[in-house]
Chain A
Amino acid sequence: MIGALNLGWLPRAIILGLLAFAIFGPLANLALWAFAEAWFFPNKLPSQWGFRFWEVVFRPTGRAMEALSVSIWIALLTVAVSLAVSIPAGLALARGRLPWRALIMLAFLLPQAFPSLPVYINVARIFYQFGLNGTVAGVVLVHTLHGLVFAVWITTAAFASVDKELEQAARNLGASGLRTFFTVTLPLAAPGIVASAIFVFLESLDEFTGSYFVGAPEIQTLPLTMFLASMGGNYQISSITALILLVPSIGFMLIVERFLKADVMAKMGN
């Protein structure tokens, strides 16, 4: 009995260990490639390490830093536009009386449900007529569409999780609808809205297909750089670019639960 108790930690430790390997193995692999200068069969690890490829990525003609700042700028604008349309929409979906509400919810899912490639090509054709191709505005619009389901669904869930009685109390105290919204509803829903902003930001940062069709060649984002390097088999360059892309991803992952409260998650898509 006592022996069994003492060994009780073992299966748990093994499972956690395997999980850690499954999760960190591929990431560690990326880090290895980023510093590998030569890695030939049958070597199990790189035979030469160094920063040579980092220099390639960061040198002026590599334009990685320019691509990074363009990517971040686009992502921030995308967040602004997304919130501007999704906050009112979320409010209406959570609190309003909407006919065919389920259908409207589904409408926002549609862009995610249809393979984006054929759509983006047609978007590009339409954008040419308005001179939106190759502009930040064009890319921002495409990214807004891309992240809209997260923006609207999470915002809706955030508003839905705000206690109606608090709003009612404010109204009873004589506050106008608008005032109630800004002083009670919006602050209470704020963590959820921040979470949706984070999702949109990351979706935008990582988006590739739309940026290419609508943005290139004027707009060069980081995923574009990485895709080219990866398909060209330049694993060092693409691993380094991937690591740069991972910084905000991992950073947000570590703090996301601070914003995405369990009660909001529970209301997602309802």
Chain B
Amino acid sequence: MNQSRGLSLLLVTPALIVVLALFVYPLFYSLVSAFTDRAGSFSLENFDKALELYLTDTIFTVVIIGVSTALIALVSIAIGGYLTLGENRRAVAMLAWLYRWPLFVPFIVAAQCMRTFLAKNGLMNNTFVSLGLMDVASTQSFLDWRGIIVTFVWKQAPFVTLMVAGAMASLDRSTIDAARNLGASRLRILLEIVVPQVRGTLMVGLILSFVTMMSVLSVPIMISGGSPTMMTVDMAYRINAHGDYGVANALGFISYLLTGAAAYFYLRQSVRERSA
């Protein structure tokens, strides 16, 4: 069913209107506020202040989310790979059943779970102590940057895995079987045959996770109170404690640039694949 250009545009218009009216228009408000000083004229004052106070937090945010994204990629490839190439049927079935549990757990619920699980005397350390793997004195709290990363990976990895495993399952098995018959190790098959073919899906999943994590407020607030913290916390704080929409919106603009950079890589890759 090939449509004409006009019909296609008409069909996509209602959805675009939703984005324009409920997102682009309010976003425009917020951009204006980012570039306006208190007197109402154009200025970069808000950005000066945002960078002066929150440069560390910006870097911290990029590092946290970068590390989380990388770990999510690793976990999803490992689980997806085992599901595709694993030979023990029972283990594959168990893994397939197991990995998806956090899939739709809301961030706020995930944060609540982790807050008490990863604490110094939380359930995790208590379990290790009870099993004799650790003594009480050497326990430490993971409620800092590590806790944020753990929560992000716990929550987002199943989502990317679901996508990646789906893509892997729909691959043509003949190349894999051929390589297997030639005696290639499963790890090699995974890295040299399977992963390159699902790269597109993996990237999409990772970008979706990246931008989702960029705008989560509940996890950093609930997991780690310390500084440095993530930009969303700073934004909320600027508004809540100071009513300072200017700096908050400037921070929003910076995080927009960061996600824009991530999206750019996706766009570049998708264009390259289309022209290939």
Contact = CB atoms under 8 A, between A and B. Distances in A.
B2 A97 contact: yes
A252 B236 CA distance: 32
Interface in A94-127: 95-99, 102, 104, 106-123, 125-126
B248 interface: yes
A215 B6 CA distance: 37
Interface string B92-123: 00110011111111111111111011000111
A112 B14 contact: no
B3 interface: yes
Contact of B23 (A117, A119, A208, A262): A119
B108 A106 contact: no
B137 to A, nearest CB: 13
B199 to A, nearest CB: 12
Interface in B183-201: 198, 200-201
Given A119-B26, A249-B105, A92 B19 contact: no
Contact of B214 (A110, A115, A126): A115
Given A206-B106, A266-B167, A185 B1 contact: yes
A233 B260 CA distance: 36
B27 interface: yes
B259 interface: yes
B255 A115 contact: yes
A109 to B, nearest CB: 7
Contacts of B217: 115, 117, 209
A30 B18 CA distance: 37
Contacts of B252: 114-115, 117-118
Interface stretch (B35-43, B51-59, B204-212): B204-212
Contacts of A269: 200-201, 204, 207-208, 266, 270
Interface string B1-25: 1111101111110111111001111
A142 B103 CA distance: 23
Main SS at interface, chain A: helix
B124 interface: yes
B1 A171 contact: yes
Nearest to B129: A44
A77 interface: no
A270 interface: yes
Given A118-B235, A119-B23, A119-B26, A25 B123 contact: yes
A42 B121 contact: yes
A163 to B, nearest CB: 12
B86 to A, nearest CB: 9
A104 B16 contact: yes
Contacts of A109: 207-208, 211, 263
A123 B18 CA distance: 12
Given A114-B252, A118-B252, A122-B29, A23 B99 contact: yes
Given A118-B248, A121-B239, A266-B201, A260 B7 contact: no
Interface in A238-270: 238-239, 242, 245-246, 248-250, 252-254, 256-257, 260-266, 268-270
A192 to B, nearest CB: 11
A246 B8 contact: no
Given A107-B16, A113-B256, A185-B1, A260 B108 contact: no
A93 B12 contact: yes
B88 interface: yes
A177 B2 CA distance: 9
Contacts of A115: 214-215, 217, 231-232, 235, 252, 255-256
Contacts of A270: 200, 204, 270
B224 interface: no
Contacts of A93: 12
Interface string A217-249: 000000100110011000100110010011011
A265 B271 contact: no
B176 interface: no
Interface in A16-68: 16, 19-30, 32-33, 41-42, 44
Interface of B: 1-5, 7-12, 14-19, 22-27, 29-30, 33, 88, 91, 94-95, 98-114, 116-117, 121-124, 126-127, 129-130, 154, 162-163, 165-167, 169-170, 198, 200-201, 204-205, 207-208, 211-212, 214-215, 217-218, 221-222, 231-232, 235-236, 239, 245, 248-249, 252, 255-256, 259-260, 263, 266-267, 270-271
Given A118-B30, A119-B27, 12 more contacts: A27-B113, A96-B9, A115-B214, A115-B232, A117-B248, A118-B235, A119-B30, A149-B208, A253-B100, A262-B169, A266-B201, A268-B163
23 contacts: A30-B109, A33-B116, A85-B14, A92-B9, A92-B12, A97-B3, A97-B4, A114-B255, A115-B214, A115-B232, A117-B215, A117-B236, A118-B239, A119-B30, A122-B27, A145-B22, A145-B23, A206-B107, A239-B112, A249-B105, A250-B101, A256-B162, A269-B266
